[in-house]
Chain A
């Protein structure tokens, strides 16, 4: 026996175990902090910092101080800033590598606090979401620059006429080259002289003269016949060129009506554009709020599907955040998720007001817990509103029937100089007042069916337009600045990473009523400007084109004269 064993090995083994446990206990705080920071950064995509941790063995619990989660879209801001998080762990599940927390206390919760150091993680992508909005093209409100806009437009008719002009230049060059090889009036004069000499000689010497000039007559006739063929060939090509230019010109003129229609559609203020004017005012603000929410939904939603990665047939598993490989799940006698918080009590920083709540049954493996996660927050006498009630239910218990719901009601949220940009040089500011917000946000199996209602009360609206004032803008300004109570109703639909919104408000009727007649009159003005601009441009170009075509036609008639002279000489020759 002694040959095979070394008894002192047991002592060394115990010492090693004690050493490992001792070292672990010494560095446990740092190990826990590192693991939480690493997992948090993986989930959020930005820095997660923890100030201090305290580990207690009996009872087994952890306290985290100053937890700061950076905003991935704004690196110098914290998304969440928590003073204190403390919780107790169920020790028996730790041996099964499961973190089961019965009761967690989260104190001093704050949002959007400043950071000293950037919270950016190298390589992390900013969070974005795709959105679509129905016909968000604001009609032209200021027609003073319309002529300039028309100048900058690509118009098929004007471009076509310019192309015809270029074609004429090309044809002129080609014809000039052809003239150099064609018989001209000089050649005809020469033929005439030669003919006259032959005719005079034949008259004088009769048959003898005819015999003497027979060879010369045949040569001259051959030359003239060759020239006639040459002229005919070139003339035919020139006539084709001329026909082609005419056809092109006429075809391009047909585009003018289409261009006018296009410009009218683009620039004529349409009363339909003012039927839903509220969306022009509030789109940026509302879409930003929806984007902010959906970006985080898209970030966290996959985590709730953590237990649902199908590996093969009936096998499910997940990729552990802090470990390689895949943890395959098998049926358990006492099923418990890997991470579960039965109850987390939340309390916000006192300066916000009396705001607190709780999260129950939090886990990313709801198929194992069998319980949906619920979030509830209630507050009153807050620094930004009279009251807030929030309730959320994240139900991923059944992978085939995922239902997420948020109900948020904010009463009397204060408005303080909130700016809404309509276009680049025109914005509205709500200086004071309140807004009641009710959000009913539902996502069922990846389909959004949600509504947000905003009820503005006792508002004071101010308009700021930079530029030359016009009747349309001043009319809209005058009606909007008189409004103090109004609502906005937003329907959100589509999918979480690609959604659409419809915005309606009673402001729509107010604006529509005020501008209806002005829009009609402005529309007529725009029509006249467009018609005049296009007609002027067209006439200017047509004048040039037609005069050039006329010149070319004249050139053909001159060629005809040469041709007739050649034929005449041919006839006169004996």
Chain B
């Protein structure tokens, strides 16, 4: 976990595109807010691994939102119940319930559908918010920290150069 946080900080501080980090965290939110071992999460895992989504951001996002999901189970249940018993959803629900894929995914469970709905609705706003936050972090906090005497001293040390060499070599692999 500490290693993942360290990695995330390194990525935040690197030149990695903010969208890559944001997508990773947002996909982690979908996985965290819904039941772990489900088919849609396997698809998300495939997306994360196949496309260049930041893995550390995804892992951190999953762990963070999974921890939060226990607090929101009641809300997910209420949202899921409202949706599953809404008149407009009747035909859609019946259709999905008769497709093996969705039935296996437990799409008729109030908490599962509640979690999916919240993560889908929250996906784009969360993506945009994280993008803005990462940019602001890099512009204000990171540049400020880099200008401090301690940071300058550390960055000019042999140890830092050695560290950059090693991590740069590892990243190129």
Contact = CB atoms under 8 A, between A and B. Distances in A.
Contact of B104 (A7, A16, A96): A96
Contacts of B85: 311-313, 315, 328
Contacts of B96: 330
B94 to A, nearest CB: 5
Interface stretch (A102-110, A319-327, A500-508): A319-327
The winner among B48, B49, B81, B96 for most chain A CB atoms within 10 A is B49
B162 interface: no
A4 B85 CA distance: 40
A12 B48 CA distance: 11
B108 A329 contact: yes
B156 interface: no
A324 B100 CA distance: 21
A4 B81 contact: no
A17 B97 contact: no
Interface stretch (B4-12, B109-117, B143-151): B109-117
A5 B52 contact: yes
Contacts of A9: 46, 48-51
B103 interface: yes
Interface string A287-325: 000000000000000000000000111010000100111
A4 B100 contact: no
B135 interface: no
Chain B interface bracket (under 10, 10 to 19, 20 to 34, 35 or more): 20 to 34
B80 interface: yes
A4 B17 CA distance: 12
Contacts of A4: 51-52
A332 B49 contact: no
Interface in B32-74: 42, 45-46, 48-52, 73
Nearest to B101: A95
A183 B52 CA distance: 119
B106 interface: yes
A330 B89 CA distance: 11
A455 to B, nearest CB: 53
Interface string A34-64: 0000000000000000000000000000000
A330 B81 contact: no
B81 A311 contact: yes
A97 interface: yes
A122 interface: no
Contacts of B111: 324-325
Interface string A6-48: 1101101100110000000000000000000000000000000
A324 B45 CA distance: 24
Chain A interface bracket (under 10, 10 to 19, 20 to 34, 35 or more): 20 to 34
Given A6-B49, A6-B50, A328 B100 contact: no
A325 B49 contact: no
A97 B106 contact: yes
B45 A16 contact: yes
B103 A96 contact: yes
Given A328-B93, A330-B93, A330-B108, A3 B52 contact: yes
A90 to B, nearest CB: 13
Interface string B97-130: 1101001101011111010000000000000000
A9 B53 CA distance: 10
The winner among A7, A320, A326, A330 for most chain B CB atoms within 10 A is A330
Interface of A: 3-7, 9-10, 12-13, 16-17, 95-97, 311-313, 315, 320, 323-333
25 contacts: A5-B52, A6-B49, A6-B50, A7-B50, A9-B50, A10-B46, A12-B49, A13-B49, A13-B50, A16-B49, A97-B103, A311-B85, A315-B84, A315-B85, A323-B109, A324-B77, A325-B76, A325-B110, A328-B81, A328-B93, A329-B108, A330-B90, A330-B94, A330-B96, A330-B97
Given A5-B52, A97-B106, A325-B109, 10 more contacts: A4-B51, A6-B49, A7-B50, A9-B48, A16-B49, A323-B106, A324-B111, A325-B114, A327-B110, A328-B108
Interface of B: 42, 45-46, 48-52, 73, 76-77, 80-81, 84-85, 90, 93-94, 96-98, 100, 103-104, 106, 108-112, 114
- Cβ-closest 4 pairs across A and B: A9-B49, A325-B111, A330-B97, A325-B110
